[in-house]
């Protein structure tokens, strides 16, 4: 049996294995893979997601068991130090030797660290591996303890540098981007698009410094500042270097393979180095005198090398490599394709720019106006897939090319349907999947939905950028076969949430088990159970106590489960108004049970670190003092935030606190497809941030202006003006109808903003339903909401008064012991869970 050794277990090294083992006759080879990092290959493209969830596993390309399954020997945490070409052996850092028949170098690259004085100081990091990220996280955490306003800079304003900038934001430090060139993302953007991107990034809090050459890094032991010129200094306490990459080509050098003058191992179009039994792929390979720092060409190289080793010698790397990219940087779309910067001698550019909306679109068109040569999109790249396809396939473009990029309302968007693409169009470039392959998977190979198609073709599993296009293709193909395209909740119910809502209501289904018997199959799961729980709650206002076995853990224990399996307690403080006596009770309870105490964003007080058995005891004391459940654990109304209003504020137009309390008490306990938040501001200064909520009221002369469908969070949206100059009664009437309509029709875990986006006819349609009663359901909606309001009861009161219900707040069934696995450590005179 011949032996292949792959050096490097990064994305491309992994992809080689995946492609190789999927081919016929690959079982004639033994494959051994060496990885220098301790983990199996992970998705470096999405590395910044690690800052959001710190879940390294979620980034893995495949678990270790995958390698075992395909008989690939994976050796991680070991570096290969030498290649002996004469004997076809390699030696490892652990001093072991291995022989090979074929060697595949996929060692990737390392961050380029410029030779700046002081670069060795503590607090200077590079951005490449999960270990780098872990180092940054712990350094940042220490920094923030000492100085909550600490600043961090990223050296390099390229693609990776901006990603690192997002990481700095996620770590809670003040982010600064320092770039040597006069523009951001110099490889992808022209000067104007860079300015648009800069405006947008600055508006979300990134500080950007262009045309800055860093002279030295100042500080005593650890970094304190960057010095650009004599009087030009930027104080920062942390630096992340992202100034480009250098190929990890040292193995090629020491065994005398031909190298590029500026590094990289030279390969031919078979991905062979100057030694025919040694291949190089990915960022270590110098092909066409270029290092390709993108994942798609790396995957193509893996495919070529795998085919070559298996004897398919006519499978070669193309000489033209598509360097188009699309990505979302800190929530901003940026894309470039084909030739983004084109000299006027080759064609004309059509440019659309709107700085007020942070939008820039440029397309480059041939002189005869017939073909698309390339382009740049900033702020909105939703047309990227289509434009990219037109470019790749040389498809015809409209007589008036500006139609390709003008906003739809100005007569643009005339590139027709995805179905017009030729079958050969490559839709997923990471996995090389064509339009034909996607459609064929449905028409001929029995795929029935998006999931099947992804399983069968692997489309979308790389960078995911082609997903919208694949979704459209799947839906259109299914439609063309006369099949219904259906969103279903999970494998147990082939209905969407709205259909289930209607089924449960019309048939008066009493509980989950009955719903499953009547309309579902199998035994349920963690997706459909909470969906049905929410539906039951909004049809009958049943509390989470009644069917606690189908509630998510938070609702099951009426508390938010926290990092170490303890719970937090949030009593309702309607409108944020609280008496001194009640405030003292909260303090006393927190002290008695040793709870970490924090003011929430919704103007309430959160008590953390309670153990399960303590919950009823804590709530007994709180309820005796007049508190009620705050439903912070549920997909339900959370808070209605208020500013102090005309009762105290000299600018206030109306009593915002009074109205906020009235509204919060009206909708308390109301469960919905996702959480609901509200706000009431006493004047247009908007101190309650009502426009960042699902519903907001702002006092104006002559009444309230009602705004709906806003939210903060990952995709912030300002609420939209729905109706003006309303009196209290009308405002509540519209709110009742709007909320009830949303609850009836939204999908699971869809907040009001994305719900409105998908609603046919949008806000104008919603106005017709709510204000003009175009569907004739207004009275019904009013009645339903009033009946839910009338049936409210505090579920915590219910839970502690019924000994049977109280039984569940116990860690063990067979003993009164408590969970001895919990460990807390002190933090600023309180406590926190010990880190994982």
Partner 1 sequence: MQDILNQYQTVTEANVKEWFHVGEVSDFPENSGACIKYKTKQIAVYNFARLSKWYACQNLCPHKMEMVLAFGMIGDKEGIPKVACPMHKKNFSLEDGSNLGGDDLKIAVYPVKIENGNVYIGFSD
Residues engaged in binding partner 1 (CB under 8 A): 55, 57, 60, 63-66, 491-492, 513, 516, 522-526, 528-530, 548-550, 552-553, 556-557, 561, 563-565, 808, 811-815, 817, 819, 821, 836
CB of 529 to partner 1, least distance (A): 5
Distance of alpha carbon 418 from alpha carbon 429, whole angstroms: 16
**Of 516 and 697, which has the nearer Cβ to partner 1?**
516
CB of 133 to partner 1, least distance (A): 18
Which segments of 585-687 are extended strands (E)? 596-599, 605-610, 637-642, 676-681
CB of 41 to partner 1, least distance (A): 13
CB of 60 to partner 1, least distance (A): 7
Distance of alpha carbon 199 from alpha carbon 360, whole angstroms: 11
CB of 528 to partner 1, least distance (A): 8
**Of 487 and 817, which has the nearer Cβ to partner 1?**
817
Closest CA to 83 of 263, 275, 218, 213: 275
- Tell me how crowded residue 740 is: count the other CB atoms within 10 A of its CB: 24
Closest CA to 697 of 726, 729, 672: 726
Closest CA to 534 of 573, 497, 483, 495: 497
Distance of alpha carbon 120 from alpha carbon 116, whole angstroms: 9
**For residues 281 and 305, is the Cβ–Cβ distance under 8 A?**
yes
CB of 832 to partner 1, least distance (A): 15
CB of 52 to partner 1, least distance (A): 13
**Of 44 and 808, which has the nearer Cβ to partner 1?**
808
Distance of alpha carbon 510 from alpha carbon 501, whole angstroms: 13
**Residues 6 or more apart whose Cβ sits within 8 Å of residue 260:** 266, 286, 289
**Residues 6 or more apart whose Cβ sits within 8 Å of residue 450:** 470, 471, 474
Environment class of 382 (CB within 10 Å of its CB; exposed 0-12, middle 13-18, buried 19+): exposed
**Of 648 and 812, which has the nearer Cβ to partner 1?**
812
**Of 120 and 816, which has the nearer Cβ to partner 1?**
816
**Of 61 and 334, which has the nearer Cβ to partner 1?**
61
**Of 256 and 526, which has the nearer Cβ to partner 1?**
526
**Of 524 and 576, which has the nearer Cβ to partner 1?**
524
**Of 37 and 577, which has the nearer Cβ to partner 1?**
37
Distance of alpha carbon 618 from alpha carbon 597, whole angstroms: 14
SS3 164: helix
CB of 564 to partner 1, least distance (A): 6
**Of 63 and 114, which has the nearer Cβ to partner 1?**
63
**Of 539 and 550, which has the nearer Cβ to partner 1?**
550
**Residues 6 or more apart whose Cβ sits within 8 Å of residue 603:** 573, 575, 576, 639, 641, 642
CB of 59 to partner 1, least distance (A): 12
What are the respective helix, strand and coil percentages of the chain, to the nearest 5?
A: 35, 20, 45
Give me the phi and psi of 552, to 5 degrees please: -60, 160
**Of 419 and 525, which has the nearer Cβ to partner 1?**
525
CB of 753 to partner 1, least distance (A): 24
CB of 813 to partner 1, least distance (A): 5
CB of 527 to partner 1, least distance (A): 9
Closest CA to 531 of 506, 505, 552, 507: 552
**For residues 725 and 753, is the Cβ–Cβ distance under 8 A?**
no
**Of 356 and 814, which has the nearer Cβ to partner 1?**
814
CB of 608 to partner 1, least distance (A): 15
CB of 713 to partner 1, least distance (A): 19
**Of 344 and 813, which has the nearer Cβ to partner 1?**
813
Distance of alpha carbon 204 from alpha carbon 713, whole angstroms: 13
Distance of alpha carbon 75 from alpha carbon 9, whole angstroms: 9
**Of 366 and 488, which has the nearer Cβ to partner 1?**
488
Alpha-helix residue ranges (DSSP H) falling in 481-625: 497-506, 512-519, 528-540, 553-556, 580-592, 614-624
Distance of alpha carbon 392 from alpha carbon 387, whole angstroms: 9
Environment class of 705 (CB within 10 Å of its CB; exposed 0-12, middle 13-18, buried 19+): buried
**Of 772 and 814, which has the nearer Cβ to partner 1?**
814
For the chain, state the CA radius of gyration.
Answer: 30
CB of 69 to partner 1, least distance (A): 10
CA angle 661, 729, 540 (to 5 degrees): 70
Distance of alpha carbon 539 from alpha carbon 542, whole angstroms: 8
Distance of alpha carbon 267 from alpha carbon 276, whole angstroms: 10
CB of 414 to partner 1, least distance (A): 43
């Amino acid at each position: 049996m011949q032996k292949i050794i792959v050096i490097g277990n990064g994305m491309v090294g992994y992809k080689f294995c995946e492609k190789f083992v999927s081919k016929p006759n690959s079982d004639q080879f033994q494959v051994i893979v060496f990885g220098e990092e301790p983990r199996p290959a992970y998705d470096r493209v999405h590395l910044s997601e690690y800052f959001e969830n710190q879940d390294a596993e979620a980034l893995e390309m495949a678990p270790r068991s995958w390698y075992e399954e395909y008989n690939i020997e994976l050796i991680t945490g070991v570096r290969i130090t030498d290649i002996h070409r004469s004997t076809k052996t390699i030696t490892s850092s652990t001093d072991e030797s291995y022989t090979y028949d074929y060697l595949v170098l996929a060692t990737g690259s390392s961050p380029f660290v410029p030779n700046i004085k002081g670069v060795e100081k503590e607090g200077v990091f590079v951005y490449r591996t999960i270990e780098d990220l872990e180092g940054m996280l712990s350094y940042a955490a220490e920094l923030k303890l000492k100085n909550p306003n600490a600043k961090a800079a990223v050296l390099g304003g390229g693609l990776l540098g901006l990603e690192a900038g997002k990481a700095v934001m996620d770590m809670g430090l003040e982010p600064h981007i320092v770039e040597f060139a006069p523009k951001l993302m110099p490889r992808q953007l022209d000067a104007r698009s860079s300015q648009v991107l800069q405006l947008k990034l600055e508006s979300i809090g990134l500080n950007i410094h262009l045309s800055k050459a860093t002279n030295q890094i100042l500080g005593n032991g650890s970094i304190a500042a960057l010095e650009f010129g004599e009087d030009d200094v930027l104080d920062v306490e942390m630096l992340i270097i992202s100034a480009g990459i250098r190929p990890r080509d040292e193995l090629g050098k020491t065994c005398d393979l031909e190298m590029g003058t500026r590094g990289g191992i030279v390969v031919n179009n078979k991905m062979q180095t100057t030694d025919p039994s040694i291949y190089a792929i990915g960022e270590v390979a110098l092909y066409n005198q270029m290092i390709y720092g993108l994942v798609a060409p790396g995957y193509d190289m893996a495919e070529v090398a795998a085919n070559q080793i298996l004897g398919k010698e006519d499978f070669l790397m193309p000489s033209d490599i598509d360097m188009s990219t699309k990505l979302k940087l800190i929530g901003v779309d940026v894309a470039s394709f084909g030739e983004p910067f084109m000299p006027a001698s080759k064609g004309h550019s059509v440019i659309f720019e709107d700085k007020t909306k942070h939008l820039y679109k440029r397309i480059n068109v041939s002189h005869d106006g017939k073909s698309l040569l390339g382009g740049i999109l900033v702020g909105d790249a939703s047309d990227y897939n289509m434009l990219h396809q037109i470019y790749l396939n040389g498809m015809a473009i409209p007589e008036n090319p500006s139609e390709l990029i003008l906003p739809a309302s100005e007569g643009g968007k005339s590139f027709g349907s995805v179905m017009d693409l030729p079958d050969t169009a490559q839709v997923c470039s990471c996995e090389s999947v064509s339009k034909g392959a996607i459609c064929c998977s449905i028409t001929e190979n029995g795929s029935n939905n998006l999931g099947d198609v992804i399983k069968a073709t692997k489309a979308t599993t790389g960078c995911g950028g082609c997903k919208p296009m694949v979704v459209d293709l799947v839906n259109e193909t299914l439609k063309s076969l006369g099949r219904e395209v259906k969103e279903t909740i999970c494998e147990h119910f082939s209905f969407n949430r709205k259909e289930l809502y209607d089924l449960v209501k019309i048939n008066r289904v009493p509980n989950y088990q009955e719903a499953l018997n009547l309309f579902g199959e199998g035994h349920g799961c963690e997706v459909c159970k909470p969906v049905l729980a929410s539906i039951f709650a909004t049809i009958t206002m049943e509390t989470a106590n009644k069917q606690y076995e189908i509630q998510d853990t938070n609702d099951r224990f009426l508390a938010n489960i926290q990092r170490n399996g303890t719970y937090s307690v949030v009593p309702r403080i309607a409108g944020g108004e609280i008496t001194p006596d009640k405030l003292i009770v909260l303090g006393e309870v927190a002290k008695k049970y040793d709870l970490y105490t924090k003011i929430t964003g919704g103007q309430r007080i959160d008590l953390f670190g309670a153990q399960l058995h303590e919950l009823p005891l804590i709530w007994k004391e709180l309820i005796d003092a007049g508190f009620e459940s705050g439903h912070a654990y549920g997909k339900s109304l959370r808070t209605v935030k208020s500013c102090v209003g005309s009762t105290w504020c000299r600018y206030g137009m109306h009593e915002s606190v009074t109205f906020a309390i009235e509204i919060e008490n009206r909708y308390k306990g109301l469960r919905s497809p996702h959480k609901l938040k509200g706000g009431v501001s006493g004047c247009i200064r908007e101190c309650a941030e009502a426009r960042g909520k699902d519903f907001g009221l702002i006092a104006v002369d002559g009444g309230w202006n009602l705004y709906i469908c806003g939210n903060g969070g990952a995709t912030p949206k300002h609420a939209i003006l729905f109706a003006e100059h309303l009196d209290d009664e009308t405002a509540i009437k519209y709110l009742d109808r709007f909320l009830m309509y949303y609850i009836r029709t939204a999908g699971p875990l869809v907040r009001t903003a994305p719900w409105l986006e998908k609603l046919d006819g949008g806000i104008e349609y919603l106005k017709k339903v709510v204000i003009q009663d175009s569907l004739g359901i207004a009275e019904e909606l009013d009645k339903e909401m009033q009946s839910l309001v009338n049936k409210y009861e505090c579920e915590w009161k219910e839970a502690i008064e019924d000994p049977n219900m109280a039984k569940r707040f116990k860690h063990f069934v067979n003993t009164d012991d408590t969970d001895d696995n919990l460990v807390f450590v002190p933090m600023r005179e309180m406590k926190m869970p010990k880190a994982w």
